[in-house]
């Protein structure tokens, strides 16, 4: 099946009308509760998922000119992002190769030279070690071997991604069909409108799960998303590498569809499909974004421990040039904040319940299958040999992924 907005619309119609899941769809087994509560599983995720995945380190804004740098600390070790004089954006561990002091101590800035404040070893913007005071005192120093340790850094659509796995596939290959599908959004032309972080006490997956389905919107969000979205008219698409899409038809004329607000920004590059449907994308493991012509929240879920998560919300939208920010954002940002707060208020009690000892596993319905897909991908990364007894999920959904790559080859 070639994935087009037309056939997603047809799937949405079909989903709305159905009385049961498709007969060929597997009933999904429980997701074992220990995946949310056990430290050994958390450590496996750290090792096999977080240290080996492409992770969004924010937007390219502030990193476009030579020497502009920013520290990125959400993925564990502090990582220095810096634009070279050659125009390349690079990422390094922010650790001096002399005795390990942080090379950069400000969160962001612009510089000609990276000079460690401890003993003034200095590095070029490309990470090469170029200056060592009293070099004669180091008996066997080869400066060529003591550059900053570089990690993979690639960009897509105005966003910076890093990966601590040197052998990872290129970012664009990893994103696969999402690159073509989201080209119409022209995200690289959008600007950052606002950024906010929320820290709350639950496992990162309990948080991400809540943004991978619309089954909860009528109960958790009865005054906003529950009104805006027709939760039964939702089409889920599963993609390679754990990515996914959820297109949910919007109820029009309810006063809450963003695009219907007077003076709402409208990204004309995007087809009408995105005006009548809320289309949320999930990029494995932690990037979840409902894409709207009015603007885009990028939600990033960062584990801070087994039971604590930071959700970073970066809002991007059309650049209005000089002058005042469109009033739309004064309406939208508090509304979206309320939706997020409703989700987050629910999550600490969920975690406490998962931890109670009474919980055995999550029962996932057909409409919630993006959650199961996330868990399947986690297990593929960890690998069957490492998964503790009783914590694996069965691999069941690979036959149901969309495959536009093969279609394109036909």
Catalog residues that contact ligand FES under the rule CB under 6 A.
96, 98-101, 116, 118-121
User: Could you say which residues in the range 88-147 bind Fe ion, by CB under 5 A?
Assistant: none
- 343: partner contacted, choices ligand FES, Fe ion, none (Cβ within 5-8 A by kind): Fe ion
Give the nearest distance from C-beta 126 to ligand FES in angstroms: 18
Stretch that binds Fe ion, among 20-28, 160-168, 284-292, 337-345 (CB under 5 A): 337-345
Q: Which does 116 bind (CB under 5 to 8 A by kind): Fe ion, ligand FES, none?
A: ligand FES
Using the minimum distance from each CB to ligand FES, give the nearer residue, 64 or 105. Answer: 105
Q: Does 230 bind Fe ion (CB under 5 A)?
A: no
List the single partner that 119 binds among ligand FES, Fe ion, none, CB under 5 to 8 Å by kind. ligand FES
Residue partners of 229: CB distance under 8 A and separation at least 6: 214, 217, 248, 249, 250, 251, 278
Instruction: For ligand FES, give the closer residue by CB, 14 or 138.
Output: 138
Q: In terms of CB distance, is 92 or 284 closer to ligand FES?
A: 92
Question: Least separation, in Å, of the C-beta of 133 and ligand FES?
Answer: 8
Measure the CA–CA gap between 282 and 246, rounded to whole angstroms. 8
Helix H, strand E, coil C: the string for the chain is CCCCHHHHHHHHHHHHHCCCCCCCCCCCCCEECHHHHCHHHHHHHHHHHHCCCCEEEEECCCCCCCCEEEEECCCCCCEEEEECCCCCEEEEECCCCCCCCCCCCCCEEECCCEECCCCCCEECCCCCEEECCCHHHCCCCCHHHCCCCEEEEEEECCEEEEECCCCCCCHHHHHCHHHHHCHHHCHHHCEEEEEEEEEECCCHHHHHHCCCCCCCHHHHCCCCHHHHEEEEEEEEEECHHHCEEEEEEECCCCCCCHHHCCCCCCCCCCCCHHHHEEEEEEECCCEEEEEECCEEEEEEEEEEECCEEEEEEEEEECCCCCCCCCCHHHHHHHHHHHHHHHHHHHHHHHHHHHCCCCCCEECCCHHHHHHHHHHHHHHHHHCCCCCCCCCCCCCCCHHHCCCHHHHHHC
Closest approach, Cβ 371 to Fe ion, in A, equals 13
Least Cβ distance, residue 346 to Fe ion (angstroms): 8
96 binds, among Fe ion, ligand FES, none (CB under 5 to 8 A by kind): ligand FES
Shortest Å, Cβ 118 to ligand FES: 4
Nearest one of 275, 280, 272 to 235, comparing CA atoms: 280
Which residue, 343 or 368, has its beta carbon nearer to Fe ion?
Answer: 343
343 binds Fe ion (CB under 5 A): yes
Number of residues lying near Fe ion (CB under 5 A)? 1
Nearer to ligand FES, 120 or 223 (CB): 120
Q: Which one, 101 or 192, has the nearer CB to ligand FES?
A: 101
Q: Point out which span in 1-9, 139-147, 276-284, 340-348 binds Fe ion (CB under 5 A).
A: 340-348
Any contact of residue 377 with Fe ion (CB under 5 A)? Answer: no
Stretch of residues binding Fe ion (CB under 5 A), selected from 135-143, 169-177, 338-346, 385-393: 338-346
Minimum Å gap between C-beta 220 and Fe ion is: 5
Task: Tell me whether residue 43 or residue 120 sits nearer to ligand FES (CB atom).
Answer: 120
Opening angle at CA 54, ends 48 and 58, nearest 5: 130
The residue among 172 and 340 lying less far from Fe ion, judged by its C-beta, is 340
Question: Quick one: which of 232, 235, 230 has its CA closest to 246?
Answer: 235
Contact 278, 213 (CB under 8 A): no
From Fe ion, ligand FES, none, which one binds at residue 325 (CB under 5 to 8 Å depending on kind)? none
Query: Least distance in Å: CB of 374 to ligand FES?
Result: 40
The residue (of 4 and 117) whose beta carbon lies closer to ligand FES is 117
Cβ at position 138, least distance to ligand FES in Å:
11
Binding residues for Fe ion, rule: CB under 5 A, are 343
């Amino acid at each position: 099946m070639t994935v087009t907005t037309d056939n997603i619309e047809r799937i949405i119609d079909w989903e709305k009308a159905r009385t049961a899941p498709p007969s060929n769809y597997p009933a999904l087994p429980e997701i074992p509760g220990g995946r949310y509560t056990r430290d050994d599983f958390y450590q496996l995720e750290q090792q096999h998922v977080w240290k080996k995945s492409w992770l969004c380190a924010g937007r390219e804004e502030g990193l476009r000119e030579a020497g502009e740098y920013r520290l990125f600390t959400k993925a564990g070790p502090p990582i220095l992002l810096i634009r070279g004089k050659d125009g390349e954006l690079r990422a390094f561990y922010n650790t001096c190769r002399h005795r390990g002091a942080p090379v950069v101590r400000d969160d962001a800035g612009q510089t000609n030279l990276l000079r460690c404040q401890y003993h003034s070893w200095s590095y070029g913007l490309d990470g090469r070690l170029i200056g060592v005071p009293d070099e004669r005192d180091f008996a066997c120093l080869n400066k060529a071997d003591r550059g900053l340790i570089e990690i993979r850094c690639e960009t897509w659509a105005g966003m910076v991604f890093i990966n601590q796995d040197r052998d990872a596939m290129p970012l664009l290959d990893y994103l696969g069909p999402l690159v073509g599908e989201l080209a119409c959004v022209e995200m690289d032309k959008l600007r950052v409108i606002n950024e906010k972080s929320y820290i709350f006490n639950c496992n990162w997956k309990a948080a991400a799960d809540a943004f991978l389905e619309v089954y909860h919107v009528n109960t958790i969000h009865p005054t906003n998303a529950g009104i805006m979205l027709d939760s039964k008219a939702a089409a889920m698409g599963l993609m390679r590498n754990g990515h996914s899409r959820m297109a949910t038809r919007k109820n029009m004329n309810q006063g809450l569809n963003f695009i219907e607000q007077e003076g709402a920004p409208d990204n004309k590059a995007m087809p009408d499909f995105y005006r009548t449907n809320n289309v949320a994308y999930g990029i494995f493991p932690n990037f979840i974004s409902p894409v709207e012509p009015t603007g885009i929240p990028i939600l990033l879920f960062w584990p801070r421990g087994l039971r604590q998560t930071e959700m970073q919300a970066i809002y991007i939208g059309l650049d209005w040039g000089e002058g005042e920010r469109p009033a739309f954002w004064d309406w939208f940002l508090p509304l979206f904040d309320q939706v997020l707060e409703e989700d987050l208020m629910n999550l600490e009690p969920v975690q406490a319940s998962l931890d109670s000892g009474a919980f055995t596993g999550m029962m996932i319905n057909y409409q919630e299958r993006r959650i199961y897909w996330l868990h399947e991908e986690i297990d593929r990364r960890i690998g069957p040999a490492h998964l503790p007894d009783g914590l694996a999920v069965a691999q069941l959904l690979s036959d149901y992924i969309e495959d536009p790559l093969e279609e394109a080859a036909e």
